[in-house]
């Protein structure tokens, strides 16, 4: 552990990080949001999943500093009488979870296929890359909307709600693998030419071992840069899908579904139901994007372009 | 009056931690129609010197001191728009890699004619005529057809001919050629060099040729400058400089030429490496690699002697007396 | 050129085949077509007889072949809700969506190029810094939030623009347009801005970074050495090289934009295909869902091919036959 810390502290990345106020601010904000949302069950004033704590009589209460606001509901309540602050903490947790899991799935599929395509080349390579081409030419959001719409229509909204989280992760995860596959493949092709891979092969190590132990570590910096942006994109996609009613159900809301729920009431004056989750969502995506920009400037990897 | 007088130029590059001085106290002169070679290893500052003349040093580099008088006009003081009237008109350039110098998405004709239209304010048809004429001058076959082609449709040698044609378009007084043949196939190099020499002679254009190849310098130029770690260390008539090199570094360079190698023996290399600009040693920057270095060489910077035609910056040589 | 077209065609057929397969397999699984036709009060024997008659008991391939034949003729079945041919219903809504995309594209093209170029050639000025800062905020705000914000500020608060619908429209042949009436144009403003809100900063950033890369190239230095004016260097030498990669990215983004129309149309209740699609999903109107999928699939295939063609024509270094 101490070794790891020393490696981090001595790295270029940390050197640049210390000097960049925007990076520090974004990173702290992100960590704070992650911390608050993942400790929500411990620190949230209410549990929005517990029906005993929800009273429909408490619905539509404005934030505490507004007229008619109540002290116990700092940011007011939504149409079902849930405390906005607590619901948002839980919602942020769901949004971040989906974002991270979807990107993990993208990573696994993309890196594996990229390594395979780059290392073996030939027919496998050209078939995989052709599929990647076709998939890239379709927008993820479009595919996700159609796939999820079909599933929701065939399962029915209630049953679908139970599997929504899994479905979202799967759809966003599967649709975006080509990004990684192409980048990793390009890196593999470049690395393959270098002497050390030959040297390792001469020692007699198998292709799997060569790929995972020797080539993969060298493709990390572009993958890191893409991942940051991809987490932001996944969170955005999830929010969009939930906003359309194709994502998380109302009883288990993500930030997107909270905004969707509040949208109905914005005209009747209950602005807080939409506004607070919206701010949280924008802030979350913004800090991740800022970190992504910063990482790209510092690491400056060769990213695959169309 | 000389055509070009470079007077104690200094070029600096402000980097994150420190300011690097890429060129120190560089002075030389060039007469009309004269051909000057600047030689040195990569990183010696020869390209910076060439680009400094037209103030084209890549950012954040800048000329921090000195004057460059071209036909009596101080180029360092000119505004960007005044300078652009000299660039590409009276002074033109030839770059190293014709693959990178020509814009891939514009036809050769467009890239030639735009010079004439900018500097001569010619119409489309006249400009085209002159462009075709110049393509013929550099011996590009079927110039009328080639002019409408894109750079990628031409071979490397052909492309460099086009670049030379562009350099000649405005009948300039001076051409600055930065390693014009290094990016080309060895078989074509001599051909392009001969063409350049021939055209400079017939059109009476002065030439500054930047290269690391002493053989080319000997073939083309009348005077030569040797640069080392951002300074001029020797300057003289090309013939004299090659026959009787004064500076130990120049001597080393000439001995390292393959034709001076004794068969069966290793090539004569100068031991060590040229220092990077961030770590230039105290005193004469060549002293760690020099066999004649004295204590004085390690503390004091030798200046270029000013009196003779063949000048050298070396304490040892001054003590020994020129040979 | 010919080889390129053939390859593109094969790819298009492949994509459409996959879409048709998905369409066909959901056709049977989403809701029971018999119930839609007959209601519940029909005996089991009667149902079985009808199933046989309609060919619902035939082997899969036979049914799929019948579906394909009908689909190629434009017969995708009747919408359960509208009781009219699904394709007809979708095509009626196509103009609204196309005009929305057109409005957004206009905003993106006219703003992204000048702003992106400016930020590339004057990266250190405060204006460029501000614009780049705004652009990163821009890509972080989801389209539907921009849409809600626009409605809140410009229609509820200031009352400058209407908040929903297309307003008055005029018919030109079969095309129902909102571009010819003042009311229609006013209705188009907010949805177009909302739809362009993520794409615009994305393109500004893309153009800026591509342009900055171009300005580092040797041919730009050579152009300077030729004494050309800055304007010529920026707009002829650099911009042309900048826009080539932008075209490719732009092609992919058209697809994303169609996805965003669903969001925008939902917020503004814009009577286009996306809005219709979402309603169809909520009503489990399978023929409509299928019709939408096929139309969108076609749009993707056609635009991608067009973009590649344009790229091949604009970039002299690309021989179409060798690409893809």
The interface predicted TM-score of the complex, written ipTM, equals 0.87
In the structure, what pLDDT confidence band is assigned to residue C53 with cuts at 50, 70 and 90? low
Tokens linked to B130: 């002159």
- Residue B214 touches partner C, C-beta closer than 8 Å: no
A288 close to A272: Cβ distance less than 8 angstroms: no
- Topology, domain B4-90+174-322: Rossmann fold (3.40.50)
In the structure, what pLDDT confidence band is assigned to residue A69 with cuts at 50, 70 and 90? low
Question: How distant, in Å, are the alpha carbons of B75, B115, C114, C214, C261 from that of B81?
Answer: 12, 15, 23, 22, 48
* A197 CB neighbour count, 10 Å cutoff: 19
Instruction: Please say if the pLDDT value at position B72 is more than 90.
Output: no
**pLDDT tens-digit map of B4-36:** 888 888 898 887 677 888 888 888 889 988 999
User: What is the number of alpha carbons within 13 Å of residue A171 lying toward its C-beta?
Assistant: 25
- Residue C240 touches partner B, C-beta closer than 8 Å: yes
CB contact under 8 A, B84 and C229: yes
- Residue A290 touches partner C, C-beta closer than 8 Å: yes
**pLDDT tens-digit map of A193-241:** 666 666 666 666 666 666 666 677 777 778 888 888 889 989 998 888 8
CA distance C173 to chain A (A): 30
The pLDDT assigned to A181 comes to 87
Most confident of A19-23, B198-202, C178-182: B198-202
CA distance C233 to chain A (A): 24
| Ranges A148-162, A252-266, B194-208, C163-177: which has the least confidence | C163-177
Instruction: Please say if the pLDDT value at position C244 is more than 90.
Output: no
The pLDDT assigned to C253 comes to 79
Taking all residues of chain C, what is their mean pLDDT, rounded to a whole number? 81
Sheet order of strands, B231-237 included:
B91-94, B174-178, B206-211, B35-39, B223-228, B231-237, B311-312
**What's phi and psi for B255, nearest 5 deg?**
-65, -25
Taking all residues of chain B, what is their mean pLDDT, rounded to a whole number? 85
Q: Which chain B residues in 99-118 lie under 8 Å from chain C, judged by CB atoms?
A: 100-107, 114-115, 118
In the structure, what pLDDT confidence band is assigned to residue B208 with cuts at 50, 70 and 90? very high
Q: Which of C22, C140, C262 sits opposite A289 (nearest CB)?
A: C140
Rounded to whole angstroms, the Cα distance separating A210 from A119 reads 10
| Ranges A283-287, B240-244, B291-295, C138-142: which has the least confidence | B291-295
The pLDDT assigned to C126 comes to 92
Please give the average per-residue pLDDT across B197-208, as a whole number.
90
The pLDDT assigned to C114 comes to 92
Tokens linked to B265: 């023996």
Q: Which residue has the tokens 């931690």?
A: B17
| Ranges A69-73, A80-84, A107-111, C238-242: which has the least confidence | A69-73
Classified as helix, coil or strand, A38 is helix
A150 close to C30: Cβ distance less than 8 angstroms: yes
- Considering the four listed CATH numbers 3.40.1080.10, 1.10.357.10, 2.40.50.100, 1.10.3720.10, the one that applies to the domain covering A74-299 is 1.10.3720.10
**Angle at the Cα of B86 from the Cα atoms of B80 and B91, rounded to 5 degrees:** 130
Please give the average per-residue pLDDT across C278-286, as a whole number.
81
CA distance C217 to chain B (A): 7
Instruction: Please say if the pLDDT value at position A56 is more than 70.
Output: no
Query: By CA distance, what is A259's nearest residue in C?
Result: C145
Please give the average per-residue pLDDT across C246-272, as a whole number.
83
The gap from C-alpha C319 to its chain's centroid, in whole angstroms, comes to 28
| Ranges A109-118, B304-313, C145-154: which has the least confidence | B304-313
The pTM of the full predicted model, rounded to 2 decimals, is 0.82
Touch between C and A (at least 3 CB pairs under 8 Å)? yes
Position with higher pLDDT, B226 vs B273: B226
Instruction: Please say if the pLDDT value at position B151 is more than 50.
Output: yes
Rounded to whole angstroms, the Cα distance separating C86 from C80 reads 9
The pLDDT assigned to C319 comes to 53
CB contact under 8 A, B97 and C226: no
Mutant choice from C241, C255, C288 vs A, greatest count of A C-beta within 10 A: C255
Mutant choice from B114, B159, B169 vs C, greatest count of C C-beta within 10 A: B114
- Residue A289 touches partner C, C-beta closer than 8 Å: yes
Give the domains, in start order, of chain C with CATH numbers. Answer: 88-284 (1.10.3720.10)
**pLDDT tens-digit map of A275-303:** 888 888 999 999 999 998 888 888 766 55
Instruction: Please say if the pLDDT value at position C86 is more than 90.
Output: no
Name the residue ranges covered by the structural domains of chain A. 74-299
Question: How distant, in Å, are the alpha carbons of B183, B191, B194 from that of B186?
Answer: 9, 10, 13
The pLDDT assigned to A287 comes to 92
Chain A residues whose CB is inside 8 A of the C286 CB are: 153
Name the residue ranges covered by the structural domains of chain B. 4-90+174-322, 101-169
The pLDDT assigned to A305 comes to 44
Query: By CA distance, what is B86's nearest residue in C?
Result: C227
Compute and round to an integer the Cα radius of gyration of chain B: 21
- Residue C247 touches partner B, C-beta closer than 8 Å: no
Chain B residues whose CB is inside 8 A of the C228 CB are: 84, 88, 114-115, 118
- Residue A22 touches partner C, C-beta closer than 8 Å: no
Rounded to whole angstroms, the Cα distance separating B80 from B51 reads 14
Rounded to whole angstroms, the Cα distance separating B9 from B47 reads 14
Position with higher pLDDT, A50 vs C246: C246
Chains that touch C (3 or more CB pairs under 8 A): A, B
The pLDDT assigned to A10 comes to 63
The gap from C-alpha C157 to its chain's centroid, in whole angstroms, comes to 30
The pLDDT assigned to A207 comes to 66
Query: By CA distance, what is C216's nearest residue in B?
Result: B58
The pLDDT assigned to C321 comes to 41
Chains that touch A (3 or more CB pairs under 8 A): C
Rounded to whole angstroms, the Cα distance separating A179 from A230 reads 9
| Ranges A178-182, B40-44, B303-307, C1-5: which has the least confidence | C1-5
**pLDDT tens-digit map of A193-206:** 666 666 666 666 66
Burial of residue B228 (number of CB atoms within 10 Å: 0-12, 13-18, 19+): buried
Please give the average per-residue pLDDT across A107-132, as a whole number.
85
Specify which residues C170 forms β-bridges with: C177
């Amino acid at each position: 552990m101490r070794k790891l810390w020393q490696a981090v502290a001595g790295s270029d990345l940390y050197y640049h990080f210390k000097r960049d106020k925007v990076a520090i601010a974004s990173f702290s904000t992100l960590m704070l949001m992650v911390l608050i949302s993942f400790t929500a069950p411990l620190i949230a004033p209410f549990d929005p999943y517990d029906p005993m704590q929800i009273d429909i009589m408490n619905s539509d209460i404005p934030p505490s500093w507004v007229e008619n606001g109540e002290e116990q509901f700092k940011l007011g309540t939504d149409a079902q009488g849930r405390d906005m602050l607590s619901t948002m903490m839980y919602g942020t947790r769901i949004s971040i979870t989906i974002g991270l899991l979807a990107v993990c799935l993208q990573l696994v599929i993309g890196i594996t296929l990229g390594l395979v395509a780059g290392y073996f080349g030939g027919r496998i390579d050209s078939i995989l890359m052709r599929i990647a081409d076709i998939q890239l030419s379709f927008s993820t959001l479009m595919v996700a909307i159609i796939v999820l719409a079909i599933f929701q229509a065939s399962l029915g909204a209630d049953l679908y709600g139970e599997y929504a989280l899994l479905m979202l992760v799967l759809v966003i995860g599967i649709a975006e693998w080509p990004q990684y596959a192409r980048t990793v493949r390009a890196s593999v092709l470049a690395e393959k030419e270098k002497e050390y891979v030959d040297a390792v092969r001469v020692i007699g190590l198998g292709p799997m071992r060569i790929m995972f132990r020797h080539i993969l570590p060298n493709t990390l910096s572009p993958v890191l840069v893409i991942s940051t942006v991809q987490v932001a994109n996944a969170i955005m996609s999830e929010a969009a899908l939930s906003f359309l009613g194709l994502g998380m159900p109302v009883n288990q809301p993500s930030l997107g579904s909270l905004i969707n729920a509040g949208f109905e009431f914005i005209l009747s004056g209950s602005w807080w139901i939409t506004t607070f989750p919206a701010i949280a969502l924008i802030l979350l995506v913004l800090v991740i994007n800022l970190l992504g920009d910063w990482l790209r400037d510092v690491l400056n990897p060769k990213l695959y372009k169309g | 009056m000389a055509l070009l007088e470079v007077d104690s130029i200094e070029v600096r590059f402000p980097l994150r931690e420190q300011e690097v001085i890429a060129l120190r106290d560089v002075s030389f002169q060039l007469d009309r129609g004269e051909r000057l070679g600047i030689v040195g290893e990569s990183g010696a500052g020869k390209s910076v010197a060439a680009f400094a003349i037209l103030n084209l040093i890549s950012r954040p580099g800048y000329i921090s001191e000195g004057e460059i008088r071209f036909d009596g006009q101080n180029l360092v003081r000119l505004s960007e728009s005044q300078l652009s009237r000299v660039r590409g008109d009276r002074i033109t350039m030839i770059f190293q890699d014709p693959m990178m110098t020509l814009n891939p998405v514009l036809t050769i004709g467009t890239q030639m004619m735009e010079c004439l239209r900018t500097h001569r304010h010619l119409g489309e048809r006249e400009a085209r005529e002159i462009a075709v004429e110049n393509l013929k001058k550099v011996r590009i076959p079927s110039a009328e057809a080639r002019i409408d082609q894109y750079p990628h449709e031409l071979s490397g040698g052909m492309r460099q001919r086009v670049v030379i044609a562009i350099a000649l378009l405005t009948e300039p007084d001076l051409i600055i050629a930065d390693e014009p043949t290094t990016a080309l196939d060895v078989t074509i190099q001599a051909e392009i060099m001969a063409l350049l020499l021939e055209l400079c002679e017939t059109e009476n254009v002065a030439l500054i040729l930047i290269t690391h190849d002493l053989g080319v310098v000997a073939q083309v130029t009348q005077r030569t400058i040797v640069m080392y770690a951002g300074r001029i260390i020797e300057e003289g008539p090309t013939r004299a400089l090659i026959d009787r090199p004064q500076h130990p570094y120049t001597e080393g360079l000439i001995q390292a030429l393959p034709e001076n190698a004794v068969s069966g023996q290793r090539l004569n290399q100068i031991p060590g490496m040229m220092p990077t600009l961030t770590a230039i040693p105290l005193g004469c920057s060549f002293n760690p690699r020099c066999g004649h270095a004295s204590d004085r060489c390690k503390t004091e910077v030798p200046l270029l002697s000013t009196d003779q035609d063949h000048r050298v910056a070396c304490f040892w040589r001054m003590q020994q007396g020129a040979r | 050129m010919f080889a390129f077209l053939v390859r593109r065609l094969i790819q298009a057929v492949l994509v459409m085949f996959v879409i048709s397969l998905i369409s066909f397999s959901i056709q049977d699984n989403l809701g029971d077509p018999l119930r839609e036709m007959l209601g519940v009060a029909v005996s089991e024997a009667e149902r079985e007889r009808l199933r046989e008659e309609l060919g619902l008991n035939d082997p899969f391939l036979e049914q799929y072949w019948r579906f394909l034949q009908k689909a190629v003729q434009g017969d995708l079945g009747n919408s359960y809700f509208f009781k009219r041919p699904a394709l007809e219903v979708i095509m009626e809504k196509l103009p609204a969506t196309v005009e929305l995309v057109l409005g957004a594209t206009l905003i993106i093209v006219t703003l992204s190029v000048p702003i992106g170029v400016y930020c590339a050639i004057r990266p250190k000025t405060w204006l460029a810094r501000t614009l780049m800062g705004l652009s990163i905020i821009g890509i972080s705000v989801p389209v539907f939030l921009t849409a809600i914000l626009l409605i809140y500020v410009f229609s509820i608060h200031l009352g400058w623009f209407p908040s929903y619908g297309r307003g008055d429209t005029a018919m030109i042949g079969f095309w129902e347009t909102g571009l010819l009436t003042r009311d229609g144009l006013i209705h188009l403003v907010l949805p177009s801005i909302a739809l362009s809100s993520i794409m615009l900063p994305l393109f500004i950033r893309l153009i800026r970074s591509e342009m900055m890369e171009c300005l580092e190239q040797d041919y730009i230095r050579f152009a300077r050495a030729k004494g050309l004016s800055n304007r010529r260097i920026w707009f002829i030498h650099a911009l042309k090289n900048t826009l080539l990669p932008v075209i490719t990215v732009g092609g992919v983004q058209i697809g994303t934009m169609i996805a965003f129309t669903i969001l925008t149309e939902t917020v503004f209740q814009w009577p286009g295909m996306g809005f219709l699609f979402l309603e169809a999903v909520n009503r489990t109107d399978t023929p409509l869902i299928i019709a939408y999928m096929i139309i969108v699939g076609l749009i993707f295939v056609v635009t991608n091919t067009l973009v590649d063609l344009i790229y091949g024509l604009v970039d002299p270094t690309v021989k179409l036959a060798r690409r893809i």
